[in-house]
């Protein structure tokens, strides 16, 4: 059985590879802002990250059905999305240096919650036969770094395209004093929650270890 990761994130792929799974990568290119805007405000921040993960997984599944029937015949599709929740505000990727700098000025010396939505689809015979979703919360404690350090980190470009403008497994790891929760979820895909979701779909984790993905395609 193949595992299809609906994400361009090399960090998410690396988590799976290190855990014994070599995923096929298919990027969803979902309009995240559009999907987030469809979630009612009263639903809360977890509903947003879960809806984004579900949208990504569904887009990838539809493309597999149309274009890659050999993969769609028997696979697991995983979609994920992470956002930082701080002072009642949900933020994703900053994209610009100015936004990343402002984000760090808000969170340094404080804690925030990293929310990660997960969607797992079971595909068989070319279509989706089962779906499970869940989100996780991990508390991240940010170091109280000075302006010069913030500027140096932002100048590396690393925080511009990652949720909350930080990484745990890269240069940003120097500036995280600790976390309370799932380490892998902070990187982008929580192994514990994915295990739970695949088990609900009747697929034990051991079946995923034998998966092989021969290529990475945008």
- Label residue 123 left, alpha or beta by phi (over 0 means left) and psi (-120 to 50 means alpha): beta
Q: How confident is the model at residue 218 (pLDDT cuts 50, 70, 90)?
A: very low
**Alpha helix segments (H runs only) across the chain:** 10-18, 32-37, 45-67, 69-72, 97-107, 147-155, 183-187, 191-200, 205-209
pLDDT digit string, tens, across residues 84-111: 999 999 999 999 999 999 999 999 999 9
Domain with residue 123: its CATH number is 3.90.950.10
Q: Is residue 170's pLDDT more than 50?
A: yes
Which range marks the domain in which residue 98 is found? 2-217
CA 42 to chain centre: 23
The model's pTM: 0.92
pLDDT at 42: 87
Q: Into how many domains does the chain fold? A: 1
- Residues labelled as active-site residues: 81
Q: Would you call 41 helix, strand, or coil by DSSP? A: helix
pLDDT at 65: 96
User: How many CB atoms within 10 Å of residue 54?
Assistant: 21
Question: What is d(CA 21, CA 172) in angstroms, rounded to the nearest whole number?
Answer: 26
């Amino acid at each position: 059985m193949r595992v299809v990761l609906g994400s361009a994130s090399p960090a998410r792929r690396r988590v799976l590879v290190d855990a014994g799974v070599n995923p096929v990568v298919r990027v969803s290119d979902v309009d995240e802002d559009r999907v987030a805007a469809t979630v009612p405000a009263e639903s809360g921040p977890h509903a947003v990250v879960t809806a984004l993960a579900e949208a990504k997984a569904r887009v990838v599944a539809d493309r597999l059905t149309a274009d890659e029937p050999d993969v769609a015949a028997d696979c697991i599709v995983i979609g994920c999305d992470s956002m930082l929740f701080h002072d009642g505000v949900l933020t994703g990727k900053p994209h610009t240096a100015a936004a990343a700098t402002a984000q760090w000025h808000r969170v340094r010396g404080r804690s925030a919650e990293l929310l990660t939505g997960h969607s797992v689809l079971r595909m068989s015979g070319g279509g989706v036969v089962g779906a499970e979703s869940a989100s996780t919360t991990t508390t991240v404690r940010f170091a109280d770094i000075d302006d010069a350090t913030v500027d140096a980190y932002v100048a590396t470009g690393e925080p511009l395209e990652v949720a909350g403008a930080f990484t745990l497994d890269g240069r940003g790891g120097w500036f995280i004093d600790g976390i309370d929760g799932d380490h892998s979820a902070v990187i982008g895909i929580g192994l514990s929650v994915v295990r739970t979701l695949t088990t609900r779909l009747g697929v034990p984790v051991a079946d995923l270890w034998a998966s092989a993905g021969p290529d990475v395609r945008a």
